[in-house]
Amino acid sequence: MSGMTMGTANGWYSPGSGTARLPAAEGPMRGAMFSAGEWMVMAHGYAWGSVTDQGGPRGSDMAFVQSMAMLMGDRDLGDRFHLQLRAMSSLEPAMGQRGYPNLFATGETANGVPLVDRQHPHDLFMELAARLDYRLGGDVNLFLYGGPVGEPALGPSAFMHRGSARYQPLSPITHHWFDSTHITYGVVTAGLSAPKFQLEGSWFKGREPDERRWNLDPIRLDSWSVRGTWTPSPFLAVQVGHGWLKEPEVQHPGENENRTTASVQWARGGVSTTLAWSRKDRQPGDVLNGYLAEATWEITPRHAVFGRVENVTNDELFPDHDDPLHDRRFRVTKAEGGYAYRLPIVGPLGVALGGTVAAYAKPDALDAAYGDAPVSWTLFAKLAVGL
């Protein structure tokens, strides 16, 4: 099992999505581990059934299933090299191009129409990548990561891999500020890794995945990013990163983006938290900031409470060019809290049953479209390997 935790022998960090780091106190990625010859293999995944009713005139209700399956294999290649292969996929394209309701979420399109108050489904191929580490000595490594589908060095670990979001049934409305590059068709990352810090840079495709979610998109390397991560203790991970994305959004043709992110993640005693900020500077276009705070407290092996607060400036809520509110910027806050009851089934397989309630703060100019005080709720059952 030493290969699965390479670089974490001192307990300073746990691996997140892509090449991101999480506090070591979150523990290793939860899943089923087994050996196959010289390989150490980990399987992880979930099928997440939810029923949601998003409030107000623009909200809607829906029952849907989110899913993810991940397989990761590690082995040493001699004394200095270590190889890791990753594959991750999802059956979410089966829910349809419009995805599921999520009030105030925007980003990407369905049937050529911008998605508003909806969360798009993930692609069938979420990651097809490899990582090769070269040990310099003293727990310091040089590494190369990449593949046809992967995640560049930009932002904190994607939301589905953060302990602070483990039981959140809906994606953040700040998804396209922090996580939109977690599925990228073409990425190469090189870096220097040590127990207390990591420096890395990526060359990748800036355009977000297209609507055809069952296939592989064309692979390009036209954007770049750099990221530094500091893990001074097993309880803390701090990252700062910046990237230049070439035309990331199909609904904003000709607009490139400078994106800067910073985050602090802390974990201890069953509590996992994330505080994050992102700045999207469109060129040409507006500067849009997003803020996120989320936490999960696993009180006992059975009971967990969690919450998320987001504040974002969004100019995509009214995509119709004839609407008088088209392209206007609105600052919106969403606060969501919930509870999960966890039940083991057999081995690493378990289920979490729970629900959330969300409320919103918004400008009065949005009352006609969204109502005075919309309230949303979601019920869920999350069946997972490594709950």
Distances (CA, A) of 50 to 55, 170, 216, 308, 310: 16, 9, 27, 18, 21
Q: Work out the angle at residue 136's Cα, subtended by the Cα atoms of residues 133 and 138, and round it to the nearest 5 degrees.
A: 110
The chain-wide mean pLDDT, for the chain, equals 94
| Rounded-to-integer distance, Cα 255 and Cα 242, Å | 17
| Positive/negative CA dihedral, 12, 16, 21, 23 | negative
- Phi-psi category of 26—alpha, beta or left, where left has phi over 0 and alpha has psi -120 to 50? alpha
Residue 3 reports pLDDT greater than 70: no
pLDDT for 8 beyond 70: no
Q: Is the pLDDT of residue 103 over 60?
A: yes
Give the separation between CA 118 and CA 377, rounded to whole angstroms: 15
Average pLDDT rounded to a whole number, residues 38-64: 96
Give percent helix, percent strand, percent coil of the chain, each to the nearest 5: 5, 60, 35
**DSSP assignment, residue 367?**
H
Contacts of 78 (CB under 8 A, 6+ apart): none
Domains identified in the chain and CATH numbers? 2-385 (2.40.160.10)
* Residue 215, both tokens: 């296939």
Average pLDDT over every residue of 5-28: 79
Gap between the Cα atoms of 180 and 232, Å rounded: 28
What percentage of the chain reaches a pLDDT higher than 90?
A: 89
Give pTM, 2 decimals: 0.93
The pLDDT confidence band at residue 7, using thresholds 50, 70 and 90, is very low
What is the pLDDT averaged over residues 76-90?
96
For the stretch 133-143, pLDDT in tens is: 999 988 899 99
Q: How far apart are CA 30 and CA 12, in angstroms?
A: 17
Average pLDDT over residues 347-374: 96
| Structure-model confidence comparison of residues 52 and 12, the more confident one | 52
The pLDDT tens digits for 306-317 are 999 999 999 999
Please tell me the predicted confidence (pLDDT) of residue 367.
96
User: What's the pLDDT score for residue 251?
Assistant: 85
The whole-angstrom separation of Cα 236 and Cα 207 is 32
> What tens digit of pLDDT does each residue of 206-231 get?
999 999 999 999 999 999 999 999 99
User: How many Cβ atoms are within 10 Å of 212's Cβ, its own excluded?
Assistant: 12
Could you give the C-alpha distances from 60 to 102, 125, 363, in angstroms and in order? 8, 28, 21
Residue 332 tokens, joined: 């919106």
Is the pLDDT at 4 greater than 60? The verdict is no
Q: What is the pLDDT of residue 31?
A: 86
So what's the pLDDT on residue 10?
53
SS3 341: strand
The conformational region for residue 215 under phi > 0 = left, psi -120 to 50 = alpha, else beta, is beta
pLDDT at 319 over 70: yes
What number is the average pLDDT over the span 189-202? 97
pLDDT at 9: 43
Distances (CA, A) of 234 to 16, 26, 27, 310, 338: 14, 9, 10, 26, 27
pLDDT tier, 1 (very low <50, low <70, confident <90, very high otherwise):
very low
Fill in the DSSP letter of residue 190: E
The beta strands (E) that lie in 234-329 are given as 236-245, 256-268, 271-283, 287-298, 303-314
Mean pLDDT of 361-381: 97
Q: What is the pLDDT of residues 233-258, one digit of tens each?
A: 999 999 999 999 999 998 888 999 99
Report the distance separating Cα 293 and Cα 310, nearest Å: 6
Band the pLDDT of 6: cuts 50, 70, 90. very low
Quick: pLDDT tens for 261-278: 999 999 999 999 999 999
Q: Give the C-alpha separation, 83 to 41, whole Å.
A: 12
pLDDT above 60: residue 120: yes
Confidence band, pLDDT 50/70/90 cuts, at residue 123: very high
Quote the Cα angle for 145-148-151, to 5°: 50
